[in-house]
Homo-oligomer: A and B are copies of this chain.
Amino acid sequence: MKRPLILVTNDDGITAPGIRKLINIVNEIGDVIVVAPNSPQSGKGHAITINSTLSFEELNLDGPQKDFSCSGTPVDCVKMALDKILPRKPDLVVSGINHGANSSINVIYSGTMSAAVEAGVEGLQAIGFSLSDLKWEADFDQAEDFIRDIILKTLENPMPKGVVLNVNIPKLNKSDIKGIKVCKQANAKWEESFDERTNPHGRKYYWLTGYFNNMDESEDADETALTNGFISIVPVKFDMTAYEYMNELNSIYK
């Protein structure tokens, strides 16, 4: 196989330690172009920029890769990379390493995973990587060998069009990680509890807070795998049709 062209993006921003680690890993594997947000874009989901403009600029950072900083969301970054920056379609798109888990329902809020899903919409091979550690100085070294393995396996075993991978890594030392487990998206949700405050002018405002409620104890759920010390891999698709409910719905609208 000739040297692959790899696009790297994320949602924590182009200077985040997580993306710099991911760049180091893929620099050994292929020719790397980074197109990532110029500011944190966590929780941006699949947002795109319609009502304002976008821009990007090339940065001069250490390493053989090319780095482009983009003003938009993670999904904007993928779109701009494909239309304006990359010399050809990339062989792989990797997103992350996210500072914080994107398991279960978080796949839908996550800019990291939305970038990977957008690459899937474009018919590309794509993987999102997240580490269950929100800290800026999280230890990404422990996961390095696993990430390299998953990337190489994906290049050797291309996925069908429309499928991308959501990889979540527990916050453990390398020697304590039990292995890699293929999983489904756990049934879980956030229980919101907005934190109400009053501004100096007497007006109320709110911070989004809440706690995570895992309602899924099943053996093959990604949350279970992470709790048990495994790296979880969920194959993700963007066809959101609930096929299993179509018959009943047809009987209602016949």
**Residue among A54, A204, A241, A250 with the most chain B CB within 10 A?**
A241
Contact B242 A108 (CB under 8 A): no
A residues 78-130 near B (Cβ < 8 Å) are 79-80, 82-84, 105, 107-109, 114, 117, 121-122
Query: At the interface, yes or no: A192 with Cβ under 8 Å from chain B?
Result: yes
A178 at the interface (CB under 8 A from B): no
Question: Number of residues in A with C-beta < 8 Å to the partner?
Answer: 71
The answer to whether A212 has its CB under 8 Å from any CB of chain B is no
- Name A206's contact: one of B46, B53, B189 (CB within 8 Å): B53
Q: Which residue of B lies closest to A149 (CB)?
A: B253
Instruction: Assess whether A35 is interfacial by the CB under 8 Å rule.
Output: no
Taking a contact as CB atoms closer than 8 A, the residue among B194, B204, B205, B238 that contacts A105 in the complex is B238
A182 proximity list for chain B (CB < 8 A)? 246, 249-250, 253
List chain B residues, Cβ under 8 A from A189: 121-122
Pairwise interchain contact B50-A205, C-beta atoms closer than 8 A: no
Establish whether residues B49 and A43, one from each chain, have CB atoms under 8 Å apart when the complex forms: yes
Of all chain B residues, the one with the shortest Cβ separation from A243 is B184
Are A236 and B246 in contact, with the CB atoms below 8 A? Answer: no
Residue from B185, B208, B241 in contact with A185 in the complex, judged by beta carbons closer than 8 Å:
B241
Given contacts A107-B240, A242-B237, contact A54 B117 (CB under 8 A): no
A205 in complex: contacting residue of B54, B157, B235, CB < 8 Å = B54
Partner of A240, one of B207, B237, B243: B237
Taking a contact as CB atoms closer than 8 A, the residue among B47, B51, B235 that contacts A45 in the complex is: B47
- Interface residues of A, Cβ cutoff 8 Å to B: 40, 42-51, 53-55, 73, 75-76, 79-80, 82-84, 105, 107-109, 114, 117, 121-122, 153, 157, 159-160, 162-163, 180-182, 184-185, 187, 189, 192-194, 196-197, 203-208, 233-243, 245-246, 249-250, 252-253
